[in-house]
Amino acid sequence: MDYISLLQSEMRPAFGCTEPIALAYAAAKAVSVLDEFPNHIHARCSAN
């Protein structure tokens, strides 16, 4: 399977506000990297 076919088979359009899930993913990733819950997370989101 070539790269373009792989992307087309795996990617789906995102509708609505995607920033909340991006923040949740970043928080989960931080826990896995730090091996503990962070005290706080500072996020800058767009106004769109």
State which H helix or E strand residue 32 sits in.
helix 19-34
Q: Is residue 48 predicted with pLDDT exceeding 70?
A: no
What pLDDT, on a 0 to 100 scale, did the predictor assign at position 29? Answer: 93
Q: Is residue 1 predicted with pLDDT exceeding 80?
A: no
What pLDDT, on a 0 to 100 scale, did the predictor assign at position 32? Answer: 92
What pLDDT, on a 0 to 100 scale, did the predictor assign at position 36? Answer: 93
* Reported pTM: 0.54
Q: Give whole-number Cα distances, 19 to 7, 9, 32, 34, in Å.
A: 21, 23, 20, 22
Predicted confidence (pLDDT) per residue in 13-35, tens digit: 888 877 788 889 999 999 999 99
Chain mean pLDDT for the chain: 87
